[in-house]
């Protein structure tokens, strides 16, 4: 048979087979998969408290499998049947364990799970693409949970790594350095366009109600039980920041109202259920309380950290300042500000506070009833004590003074580590221990006032904050969790709602200089977190570092995270002046033009580089010139032959420059390449010679008019 | 309907990318369109936009816009990269019917670009599934692409499709190139006993030999040594001389020139003509391998007795070009 000629082709067939084998091999050996594995595991670690434990375990498994395959410890991937079974079990597990966690967390867990399974399974190109898209989406979702600068940097790097993986997938044999160079270039080109889009594409309001994340709520608790162990005041996490248009109020006046608690059961204070019910009803019928406002006011913006809750922080008495804030914030009867959306991420709002209008507010019948209600039993000593006092001092103001005097004259002390008081906590606090922190004092006072027939309630919020003031910048205040505070509001016939803060009497430093000063002796300030930078303020370097970080973070929150439609409109105004439809249309066109220009700028050089090299191009030009004059180079004629042909047929004035041009061309194209150093110099020189000769040729031709 | 549209496309392609020997890709012959992954990627961007807007999350929006910009930039960089490709077709090896021909493609052979092309390029015939690829960062010229040849005779290979997804797979760049190179497919060799007939009387040559002419040239007398020339059978090389370091010499024999005989096309029936041609092809190959002189007589052409590489090619070409029944009937 024709065995022999089959033999000839055998080697070539082998080659094809080899390439198919290499195909399979390059799949497993491709760094793209390792990069994706690393991205997934790092992302998983960054969200360890959101991602379920067993899913993290699965991620670790799949990454291990990938690494084993990459380094050829393991040759075979898990079979599809195994994976399908695993997927089925995981889905059941996920439904079971993530259902109570709510949509958002469930979705993130599902995505992580899908990525982990996909990573185990990646075989074809399609699988890989699906993995990449899921990873990018996952990284995007990561921004819901983490928005600090450090995490943004981390997630950006991870996104770039995914893009690098894509690059490796399409060019597996490109050197890492080259690959990085190519993709860095690409990303740098995309970045300005992306920023332009971000700054100038309209910022839309939320399109629909976002599912609430049921992650752990942070910040203030909506229930205060003074007898419990101190939990607050021990975190140096940021609660919110406020940027003031003018001067910030003084330390003593920075009472940030958040929650008003009117329901007391003898042990704990909480928001009155009636108020909650009322709120739900009023929000349903879109009714809103509006306080009577007049007098001096302060304008400021607040950037609240995510709490997963609804209440906002404000100085008394605040009203939303901008249309956007007005539409997003609801005002309650107790002067609370409540956001329609839970604070799942940083939230910025604009307020105006009328600082002196508190006394003008009326007391409704409901207010009176709620703020006078008393628990049926408990704290008998206090009850007796108050009733005696009240008989002695029938006038409200005198009664209050006596109560406050009691805190001043008795040996009360301020501590963050009070002993627990489980039975009759007010009695124990007032007459036995006489040591506690703000909520102990507030609770005891409010209860006593109510016993004395004066409407009173507890307001929980923050007091103080760290003022950052710079010459060029607006003043802003950073308020941390350890600034949390509770105080009393009592309604007096002459002066309306009046703020009473018994803590000032016991620990004036707490109000005047903040918690850090007040707790200097006890040493309990941030005792649980020994490495918090806030503890190290006495070391100048650390303090400067802390302030610098805080400042950077502030600007990040204000300008990047807080960039909204309002700021965008300001930006538009700054660019085009008045906002008319025509001008906006022009602006839109200008953006498109700018993007087009940028793209041209990026790729112009490449277009030229892809063309013929200059040597070829110059020679071709000369040929075209001669061709126009009837001297066409036949395809069998070499450059030397053609040059001779020209010398025979055309006058010397023309043939000489062409001869020299041809010589340079041959030299550049066919000479054996010498040392690199000399090469580039002589190369340039020869090209210049060619240019010169071409010009000469052109002149001579036009002179002789060979047509 | 489908065939008509296919024809339209082909006509349009013939006008747009006419056949040539070598191609440098540029805007005239590159097509570019978002790949499937590109569409998936756009959906991801949309999803990020919706989620980012709903959560009022600027970082997510930034990511979305950045990815979108990357998509845009990728369009141009994919084009620029693909435009660095230049292809020319090399010498096509001999091929016999019902075998695959391996088309040698020289990629970026005579170019030294400042920025070389990157990424994997898929190659295949237009309209067929892509069956091969090469990596621009690691390959050796020529890249061969196989093409099945069913029948003998002249064949025009289909347009060759080159496609590339570099750098991010968001866009597919592709082109359909036609090379104006026809492939001559020789008949499939079919093993059979040699059927040599003595030269016709009209021939100048002395009639000699017989039907069962032996292939063995050993009985011929050794005449002299001469310089080896490419194409001569290796059996004739005087290996002893090579071993002594005197270079490649080949032995010349006296007798071989006398063994002249003809291969003829018997007036066989039309059904068997292909089979006969196949048998003739086998005989031509065998005789050439033995470096024996022979002539070929195919009614429509007669090739005078000779030997050597050129003679072999001439004979095979004649066999390949033997008119088919369809030709005879005038269909073609």
Closest CA to B257 of B212, B206, B297: B206
Domain assignment of residue A663, yes or no: yes
Domain assignment of residue A368, yes or no: yes
Same domain, B113 and B248: no
Cα A205–chain centre separation: 18
Same domain, A368 and A490: yes
Q: Give kind and range of the element (H or E) at residue B34.
A: strand B31-34
Summarize pLDDT for B37-48 with one digit per residue, the tens: 999 999 999 999
Q: Which residue has better confidence, A49 or B33?
A: B33
d(CA A553, CA A346): 12
Domain boundary among A551, A570, A591: A551
pLDDT value of position A558: 78
Cβ of B45: how many Cβ atoms within 10 Å?
20
Same domain, B204 and B278: yes
pLDDT value of position A705: 63
Chain B CB within 8 Å of residue A391 CB = no
A561–B54 C-beta distance less than 8 A: no
Q: Which residue has better confidence, A627 or A634?
A: A627
On average, the pLDDT of chain A sits at 81
pLDDT value of position A42: 95
Asked if the model's pLDDT at residue A430 lies above 80, the reply is: yes
d(CA A444, CA A425): 9
- Identify the weakest region by mean pLDDT among A376-385, B127-136, B224-233: B224-233
Summarize pLDDT for B210-253 with one digit per residue, the tens: 344 444 444 455 666 777 777 677 777 778 777 877 777 777 66
pLDDT value of position A524: 63
Same domain, B204 and B247: no
Q: Do A454 and A490 meet the contact criterion of CB atoms below 8 Å apart?
A: yes
Q: Residue A523, class by beta-carbon neighbours within 10 Å (0-12 exposed, 13-18 middle, 19+ buried)?
A: exposed
Side-chain half-sphere of A180: how many Cα atoms within 13 Å? 4
- CA distances from residue A219 to A212, A264, A320, A529 in whole angstroms, order as listed: 17, 21, 22, 17
pLDDT value of position B221: 57
d(CA A391, CA B272): 134
Q: Do A310 and A349 meet the contact criterion of CB atoms below 8 Å apart?
A: no
Same domain, A463 and A341: yes
- CA distances from residue B75 to A181, B33, B173 in whole angstroms, order as listed: 18, 8, 9
Closest CA to A487 of A175, A693, A252: A252
Chain A CB within 8 Å of residue B45 CB = no
Residues 6+ apart with CB under 8 A from A291: A317, A319, A331, A335, A354, A357, A361
DSSP state of B275: H
- Phi-psi group of B330: left, alpha or beta (phi > 0 → left; psi -120 to 50 → alpha; rest → beta): left
- Strand-pair category, A347-354 with A263-264: unpaired
Cα A419–chain centre separation: 40
Helix (H, G, I), strand (E, B) or coil at B330: coil
Same domain, A234 and A344: yes
A195–B67 C-beta distance less than 8 A: no
Same domain, A161 and A232: no
**Phi, psi for residue B13 in degrees, rounded to 5:** -65, -40
pLDDT value of position A672: 55
Instruction: Considering only the beta carbons, identify the residue of B58, B132, B168 that sits closest to A19.
Output: B132
Summarize pLDDT for A256-314 with one digit per residue, the tens: 999 899 888 888 888 888 888 888 888 888 888 888 888 888 899 898 888 878 889 99
B119–A174 C-beta distance less than 8 A: yes
Count: domains in chain A: 3
d(CA A410, CA A433): 11
Q: Do A163 and A183 meet the contact criterion of CB atoms below 8 Å apart?
A: yes
Active-site residue numbers of A?
Answer: 438, 485, 501
Domain that holds residue A662: 614-704
Domain assignment of residue A149, yes or no: yes
Q: Which residue has better confidence, B260 or A2?
A: B260
Summarize pLDDT for A636-683 with one digit per residue, the tens: 777 888 888 888 888 888 888 888 888 888 887 776 555 455 556 677
d(CA B193, CA A405): 131
pLDDT value of position A531: 59
Chain B CB within 8 Å of residue A173 CB = yes
Same domain, A287 and A140: no
- Smallest CA–CA distance, residue B131 to chain A, in Å, is 9
pLDDT value of position A543: 76
Same domain, A32 and A139: yes
Residue whose structure tokens are 């062409």: A658
Asked if the model's pLDDT at residue A619 lies above 50, the reply is: yes
Q: Do B119 and A170 meet the contact criterion of CB atoms below 8 Å apart?
A: yes
B72–A190 C-beta distance less than 8 A: yes
Domain that holds residue B150: 2-186
d(CA B100, CA A269): 88
Q: Do A165 and B168 meet the contact criterion of CB atoms below 8 Å apart?
A: no
Count: domains in chain B: 3
pLDDT value of position B47: 94
Closest CA to A479 of A270, A318, A314, A337: A314
Same domain, A251 and A331: yes
pLDDT value of position B73: 93
Residues 6+ apart with CB under 8 A from A619: A639, A661, A662, A665, A690
d(CA A417, CA A524): 8
Rg of chain A in Å (alpha carbons): 38
Domain boundary among A510, A533, A551: A551
d(CA A197, CA A191): 10
DSSP state of A311: B
> Which residues share a beta bridge with B274?
none
d(CA A303, CA A280): 25
Residues from chain A that touch B136, judged by Cβ atoms under 8 A, are 171
Domain assignment of residue A193, yes or no: no
Q: Residue A630, class by beta-carbon neighbours within 10 Å (0-12 exposed, 13-18 middle, 19+ buried)?
A: exposed
Name the range with the highest mean pLDDT among A38-42, A74-78, B205-209, B274-278.
A38-42
Same domain, B153 and B32: yes
Q: Do A489 and A456 meet the contact criterion of CB atoms below 8 Å apart?
A: yes
Cα A57–chain centre separation: 27
- DSSP alpha helix (H) spans, A415-564: 425-427, 438-451, 502-506, 508-512, 515-518, 540-555
Same domain, B101 and B205: no
Local confidence band at A332 (pLDDT 50, 70, 90 cut-offs): confident
For residues B253-282, average pLDDT: 70
Q: Which residue has better confidence, A210 or B291?
A: B291
Angle between helices A639-649 and A652-670 (to 10 degrees): 170
Closest CA to B132 of A476, A20, A13: A20
Residues from chain B that touch A152, judged by Cβ atoms under 8 A, are 59
For residues A471-488, average pLDDT: 81
Instruction: Considering only the beta carbons, identify the residue of B47, B69, B114 that sits closest to A609.
Output: B114
pLDDT value of position B217: 42
Local confidence band at A493 (pLDDT 50, 70, 90 cut-offs): confident
d(CA A443, CA A451): 12
Same domain, A40 and A153: yes
Same domain, A36 and A123: yes
Name the closest residue on chain B to residue A600, using Cα atoms: B76
Closest CA to A631 of A655, A615, A614, A652: A655
Q: Residue B301, class by beta-carbon neighbours within 10 Å (0-12 exposed, 13-18 middle, 19+ buried)?
A: middle
> Which residues share a beta bridge with B106?
B88
A171–B166 C-beta distance less than 8 A: yes
Q: Do A320 and A353 meet the contact criterion of CB atoms below 8 Å apart?
A: no
Same domain, A364 and A243: yes
| Interface test with chain A among B27, B32, B73, B122, by most A beta carbons within 10 Å | B73
pLDDT value of position A635: 66
Q: How far apart are the first and last CA of chain A?
A: 65
Residues 6+ apart with CB under 8 A from B188: A2, B96, B97, B98, B99, B152, B278, B281
Asked if the model's pLDDT at residue A483 lies above 90, the reply is: no
pLDDT value of position A3: 39
Asked if the model's pLDDT at residue A525 lies above 70, the reply is: no
Same domain, B178 and B117: yes
pLDDT value of position B152: 82
Which strand ranges, in their side-by-side order, compose the sheet holding A255-261? A255-261, A456-463, A484-492, A496-500
Name the closest residue on chain A to residue B65, using Cα atoms: A194
B65–A194 C-beta distance less than 8 A: yes
Closest CA to B64 of A182, A211, A202, A197: A197
Residues 6+ apart with CB under 8 A from A60: A41
Same domain, B181 and B36: yes
Same domain, B263 and B247: no
Same domain, B80 and B142: yes
Local confidence band at A26 (pLDDT 50, 70, 90 cut-offs): low
Same domain, B138 and B74: yes
Same domain, A463 and A355: yes
Side-chain half-sphere of B101: how many Cα atoms within 13 Å? 29
- Smallest CA–CA distance, residue A164 to chain B, in Å, is 9
Same domain, B16 and B96: yes
Asked if the model's pLDDT at residue A13 lies above 50, the reply is: no
Same domain, B25 and B93: yes
Same domain, A228 and A303: yes
Summarize pLDDT for B135-181 with one digit per residue, the tens: 888 888 888 888 888 888 888 878 899 999 988 999 999 999 988 88
d(CA A503, CA A705): 105
Residue whose structure tokens are 């040849």: B149
**Phi, psi for residue B255 in degrees, rounded to 5:** -75, -25
Closest CA to B173 of B79, B41, B80, B107: B79
Residues 6+ apart with CB under 8 A from A176: A31
d(CA B77, CA A592): 19
> Which residues share a beta bridge with B176?
B161
pLDDT value of position B43: 96
Among residues of chain A, what percentage have pLDDT more than 90?
16
Summarize pLDDT for A89-114 with one digit per residue, the tens: 998 998 888 787 778 888 889 999 99
pLDDT value of position A664: 84
Among residues of chain B, what percentage have pLDDT more than 90?
17
Domain boundary among A551, A571, A601: A551
d(CA B189, CA B95): 11
pLDDT value of position A5: 42
For residues A552-565, average pLDDT: 81
CB pairs under 8 A between A and B: 185
For residues A392-407, average pLDDT: 88
């Amino acid at each position: 048979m024709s065995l022999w000629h089959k033999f000839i082709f055998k080697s070539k067939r082998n080659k094809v087979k080899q390439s198919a084998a290499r195909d399979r091999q390059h799949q497993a050996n491709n760094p793209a998969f390792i990069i994706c594995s690393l991205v997934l595991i790092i992302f998983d670690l960054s969200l360890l408290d959101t991602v379920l434990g067993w899913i993290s375990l699965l991620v670790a498994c799949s990454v291990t499998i990938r690494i084993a395959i990459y380094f050829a410890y393991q040759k075979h991937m898990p079979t599809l049947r195994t994976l399908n079974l695993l997927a089925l079990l995981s889905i059941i597990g996920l439904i079971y364990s993530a259902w109570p966690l709510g949509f958002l967390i469930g979705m993130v867990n599902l995505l992580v799970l899908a990525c982990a399974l996909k990573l185990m399974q990646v075989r074809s190109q399609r699988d890989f693409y699906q993995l990449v898209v899921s990873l990018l989406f996952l990284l995007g979702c990561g921004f819901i949970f983490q928005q600090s600068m450090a995490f943004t940097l981390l997630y950006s790097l991870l996104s770039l790594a995914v893009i690098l993986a894509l690059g490796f997938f399409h060019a597996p044999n490109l050197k890492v350095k080259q690959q990085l160079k190519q993709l860095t270039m690409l990303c740098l080109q995309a970045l300005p366009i992306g920023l332009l889009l971000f700054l100038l594409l309209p910022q839309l309001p939320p399109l629909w109600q976002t599912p609430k994340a049921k992650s752990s709520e942070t910040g203030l608790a909506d229930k205060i039980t003074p007898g419990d162990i101190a939990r607050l005041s021990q975190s140096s996490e940021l609660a919110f920041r406020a940027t003031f248009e003018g001067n910030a109020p003084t330390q003593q006046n920075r009472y940030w109202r958040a929650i008003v608690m009117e329901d007391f059961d003898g042990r704990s204070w909480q928001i009155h259920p009636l108020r909650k019910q009322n709120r739900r009803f009023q929000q349903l019928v879109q009714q809103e309380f509006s306080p009577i406002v007049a007098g001096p006011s302060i304008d400021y913006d607040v950037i609240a950290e995510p709490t997963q809750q609804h209440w906002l922080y404000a100085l008394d008495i605040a009203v939303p300042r901008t249309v956007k804030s007005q539409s997003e914030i609801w005002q309650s009867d107790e002067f609370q500000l409540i956001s329609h959306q839970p604070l799942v991420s940083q939230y910025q709002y604009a307020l105006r506070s009328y600082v002196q209008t508190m006394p003008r507010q009326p007391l409704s019948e409901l207010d009176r009833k709620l703020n006078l209600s008393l628990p049926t039993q408990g704290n008998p000593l206090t009850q007796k004590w108050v009733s005696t006092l009240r008989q002695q001092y029938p006038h409200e103001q005198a009664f209050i003074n006596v109560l406050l005097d009691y805190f001043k004259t008795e040996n009360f002390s301020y501590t963050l580590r009070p002993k627990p008081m489980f039975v009759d906590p007010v009695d124990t606090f007032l007459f036995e221990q006489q040591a506690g922190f703000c909520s102990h004092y507030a609770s005891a006072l409010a209860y006593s006032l109510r016993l004395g027939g004066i409407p009173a309630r507890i307001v929980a919020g923050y007091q103080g904050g760290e003022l950052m003031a710079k010459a060029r910048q607006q003043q802003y205040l950073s308020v941390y969790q350890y600034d949390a505070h509770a105080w009393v509001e009592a309604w007096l016939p002459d002066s309306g709602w009046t703020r009473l803060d018994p803590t000032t009497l016991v620990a004036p430093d707490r109000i005047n200089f903040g918690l850090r000063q007040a707790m200097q002796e006890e040493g309990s300030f941030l005792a649980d977190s020994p490495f918090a930078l806030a503890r190290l303020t006495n070391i100048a370097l650390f303090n400067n570092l802390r302030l610098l970080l805080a400042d950077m973070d502030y600007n990040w929150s204000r300008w990047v995270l807080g960039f909204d439609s309002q700021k965008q409109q300001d930006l538009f105004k700054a660019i085009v002046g008045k906002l008319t439809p025509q001008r906006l249309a022009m602006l839109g066109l200008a953006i498109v033009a700018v993007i087009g220009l940028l793209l041209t700028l990026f790729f112009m050089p490449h277009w030229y580089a892809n063309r013929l090299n200059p040597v070829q191009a110059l020679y071709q030009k000369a040929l075209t010139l001669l061709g126009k004059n009837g001297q066409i180079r036949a395809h069998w004629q070499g450059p030397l032959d053609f040059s001779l042909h020209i010398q025979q047929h055309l006058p010397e004035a023309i043939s000489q420059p062409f001869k020299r041009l041809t010589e340079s061309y041959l030299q550049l194209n066919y000479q054996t390449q010498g040392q690199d150093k000399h090469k580039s110099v002589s190369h340039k020189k020869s090209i210049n010679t060619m240019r010169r000769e071409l010009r000469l040729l052109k002149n001579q031709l036009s002179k002789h008019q060979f047509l | 309907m489908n065939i008509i549209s296919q024809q339209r496309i082909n006509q349009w392609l013939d006008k747009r990318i006419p056949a040539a020997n070598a191609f440098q890709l540029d805007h005239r012959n590159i097509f570019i369109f978002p790949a499937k992954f590109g569409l998936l990627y756009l959906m991801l961007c949309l999803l990020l936009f919706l989620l980012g807007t709903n959560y009022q999350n600027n970082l997510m929006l930034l990511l979305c816009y950045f990815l979108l910009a990357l998509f845009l930039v990728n369009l141009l960089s994919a084009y620029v990269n693909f435009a660095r490709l230049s292809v020319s077709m090399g010498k096509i090896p001999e091929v016999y019917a019902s075998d695959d021909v391996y088309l040698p493609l020289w990629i970026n052979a005579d170019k030294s670009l400042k920025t070389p092309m990157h990424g994997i390029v898929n190659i295949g015939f237009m309209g067929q599934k892509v069956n091969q690829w090469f990596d621009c960062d690691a390959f050796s010229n020529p890249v061969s692409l196989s093409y099945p040849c069913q029948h003998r005779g002249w064949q025009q290979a289909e347009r060759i499709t080159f496609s590339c997804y570099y750098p991010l797979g968001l866009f597919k760049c592709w082109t359909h190139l036609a090379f104006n190179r026809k492939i001559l497919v020789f008949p499939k060799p079919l093993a059979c006993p040699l059927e040599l007939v003595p030269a016709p009387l009209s021939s100048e040559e002395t009639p000699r030999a017989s039907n069962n002419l032996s292939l063995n040239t050993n009985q011929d007398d050794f005449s002299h040594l001469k310089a080896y020339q490419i194409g001569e059978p290796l059996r004739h090389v005087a290996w002893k001389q090579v071993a002594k370091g005197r270079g490649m010499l080949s032995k010349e024999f006296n007798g071989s020139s006398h063994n002249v005989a003809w291969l003829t096309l018997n007036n066989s029936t039309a059904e068997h003509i292909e089979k006969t041609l196949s048998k003739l092809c086998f005989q031509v190959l065998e005789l050439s391998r033995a470096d024996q002189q022979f002539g070929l007589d195919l009614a429509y052409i007669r090739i005078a007795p000779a030997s050597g590489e050129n003679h072999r090619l001439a004979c095979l070409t004649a066999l390949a070009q033997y008119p088919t029944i369809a030709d005879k009937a005038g269909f073609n």
